Amino acid sequence: MKPGHSHVPATQAFANGIPNGGTPANHVTAECARVAPVLSRIGDKWTVLVVTFLGRGPMRFNALRREIGGISQRMLTLTLRSLERDGLVTRTVYATVPPQVEYALTELGRSLLIPVLAIRDWARQNALQIEAAQQHFDALAAAARPACGGVAHTGGRPSAVGVDEIAHLQSER
Amino acid sequence: MKPGHSHVPATQAFANGIPNGGTPANHVTAECARVAPVLSRIGDKWTVLVVTFLGRGPMRFNALRREIGGISQRMLTLTLRSLERDGLVTRTVYATVPPQVEYALTELGRSLLIPVLAIRDWARQNALQIEAAQQHFDALAAAARPACGGVAHTGGRPSAVGVDEIAHLQSER
DNA sequence: CAGCATCCATTACGATACTG
DNA sequence: CAGTATCGTAATGGATGCTG
């Protein structure tokens, strides 16, 4: 996600914070208020991809674009800007004709690479197991829903986060 | 969230001397297609929080809600459902009055906890450095942008991402 | 207590067109 | 080549009200 969100989960907690109610969560929420935006960055659609690609070495804009494959120019620009802003990548402009811009991880960026690769590897290793779990879950959900029989209420599933998830990609036109 | 590259020609060879060697490049894109949804899940607004809290032990719905602090019921439900669907948490209903539902990490969920905590710790350790980088970046951006009357010199950079978020940079005070 | 359903605002993202 | 500007759409997520 973009770093734009003004609302971090902690605001409400503190607004409601009863001094006597004694929620043990105070330090936790304060902490995650700082951590949350970083996690949002990690989890947005392209950051991890970009960082891992840059982890192989410096790259120019369109090279990155081509390598990554599905990213729009806009999103690559935005992602790189955010990363630059966070001090995770450097942007070096060579005043040539045509212009060349090279992106590279900073030291901080390389340190991020380590846990990021760990997550990626976890995802890689457990992707099949997760898919299996999903299918199992969906099968049970379908069985538990006596939808058939004529009355089809609107839609069936909200599909907000859960069931859907596999769709929506424009390949090309 | 999911870059379902249905195509992505495997035309590219890495132009930067990547330690890729003989591995076909399309392997990478196919792989990240599987990895991407997992990363999206990780990066959504609440998953990491929920997983880390559950990492401490099983918890009931409203306990979780209270602990986390800023989460709406809807999002907690949705997040837990997704996690359950992915086989990362179990949901146990006790047929008491009033009903009790307990959530706990599965084995898979606990294995996820490891890299997730690594990321969280990274975020924690580098939050200040990132904030500093952001302020530095924003300062430069502001300096490059003449707010009034001045010279509109080329080189005045980003207005795309920057402006909108400096205002909201502070999460809580 | 746990949880769905509905409405609604904000945001993310892709496509497209234009610039230095 | 490497962007920027603008638009439309889809997804995200909060608030509220209803259920067993």
Q: What's the confidence (pLDDT) of residue B22? A: 33
| Three-state secondary structure readout of chain A | CCCCCCCCCHHHHHHCCCCCCCCCCHHHHHHHHHHHHHHHHHHCCCHHHHHHHHCCCCEEHHHHHHHHCCCCHHHHHHHHHHHHHCCCEEEEEECCCCCEEEEEECHHHHHHHHHHHHHHHHHHHHHHHHHHHHHHHHHHHHHHCCCCCCCCCCCCCCCCCCCCCCCCCCCCC
Separation of alpha carbons B80 and B12, rounded Å: 40
Q: Is residue B147 part of a domain?
A: yes
B153 close to A (CB below 8 A): no
Which bases in strand D are touched by protein, i.e. have an atom under 7 Å from a CB? Answer: 1-6, 10-17, 20
Q: Is residue A86 part of a domain?
A: no
pLDDT exceeds cutoff 70 at A127: yes
Query: What average pLDDT does the segment B79-93 reach?
Result: 97
| Option in A12, A70, A160 nearest B69 (CB) | A12
Tens-digit pLDDT profile for residues A44-57: 889 999 999 999 99
Q: What's the confidence (pLDDT) of residue B101? A: 97
Q: What's the confidence (pLDDT) of residue A30? A: 66
β strands within A35-155, DSSP E: 59-60, 89-94, 100-105
Count of the separate structural domains present in chain A? 1
Separation of alpha carbons B148 and B141, rounded Å: 15
Nearest chain A residue to B81, by CA: A162
Between B20 and B149, whose confidence is greater? B149
Q: What's the confidence (pLDDT) of residue B92? A: 97
Separation of alpha carbons B52 and B48, rounded Å: 6
Q: Is residue B23 part of a domain?
A: no
Q: Name which of A71-75, B53-57, B112-116, B163-167 the model is least confident about.
A: B163-167
| Terminal-residue alpha carbon distance, chain A | 26
- Dihedral of CA atoms B13, B18, B20, B22 in degrees, nearest 10, equals 50
| Average per-residue pLDDT for chain B | 74
Chain centroid to CA B146: 34
Separation of alpha carbons B80 and B86, rounded Å: 10
Q: What size, in residues, is chain A?
A: 173
pLDDT exceeds cutoff 70 at A6: no
Between B106 and A39, whose confidence is greater? B106
A56 close to B (CB below 8 A): yes
| Option in A4, A85, A132 nearest B133 (CB) | A85
Separation of alpha carbons B61 and B149, rounded Å: 57
Query: What average pLDDT does the segment B18-23 reach?
Result: 35
Q: What's the confidence (pLDDT) of residue B40? A: 87
| Option in B16, B17, B161 nearest A82 (CB) | B161
Q: Is residue A100 part of a domain?
A: no
Nearest chain A residue to B116, by CA: A119
Which run of H or E residues covers position B93?
A: strand B89-94
Q: Position of tokens 């890495």? A: B14
pLDDT exceeds cutoff 70 at B91: yes
- Dihedral of CA atoms B78, B36, B46, B125 in degrees, nearest 10, equals 170
Q: Are A69 and A124 in contact (CB under 8 A)?
A: no
Query: What average pLDDT does the segment A55-81 reach?
Result: 95
Tell me the β-bridge partners of A100. Answer: A94
Q: What's the confidence (pLDDT) of residue A33? A: 72
Tens-digit pLDDT profile for residues A139-169: 988 887 665 544 444 333 333 333 333 323 2
- Please state, as a whole number, how many other Cβ atoms lie within 10 Å of the Cβ of residue B77: 16
- Of A160, A58, A148, the closest CA to residue A110 belongs to A58
- Of A111, A9, A107, A88, the closest CA to residue B122 belongs to A111
Tens-digit pLDDT profile for residues A83-106: 999 999 999 999 999 999 999 999
Separation of alpha carbons A97 and B45, rounded Å: 43
> How much of chain B exceeds pLDDT 70, in percent?
65
Domain that holds residue A144: 114-173
Query: What average pLDDT does the segment B81-106 reach?
Result: 96
Asked if B70 and A8 come within 8 Å (Cβ–Cβ), the reply is yes
Q: What's the confidence (pLDDT) of residue A27? A: 56
Which run of H or E residues covers position B79?
A: helix B73-85
Residues 6+ apart with CB under 8 A from B37: A165, A166, B1, B2
pLDDT exceeds cutoff 60 at B20: no
Q: What's the confidence (pLDDT) of residue A38? A: 85
Nearest chain A residue to B34, by CA: A127
Q: Is residue A137 part of a domain?
A: yes
Q: Is residue A141 part of a domain?
A: yes
Q: State the pLDDT confidence band at B105, using cuts at 50, 70 and 90.
A: very high
Q: Are A46 and A76 in contact (CB under 8 A)?
A: yes
Q: Is residue A39 part of a domain?
A: no
Q: Is residue B163 part of a domain?
A: yes
pLDDT exceeds cutoff 70 at A15: no
DSSP structure class, residue B89: E
| Terminal-residue alpha carbon distance, chain B | 32
Q: Are A41 and B45 in contact (CB under 8 A)?
A: no
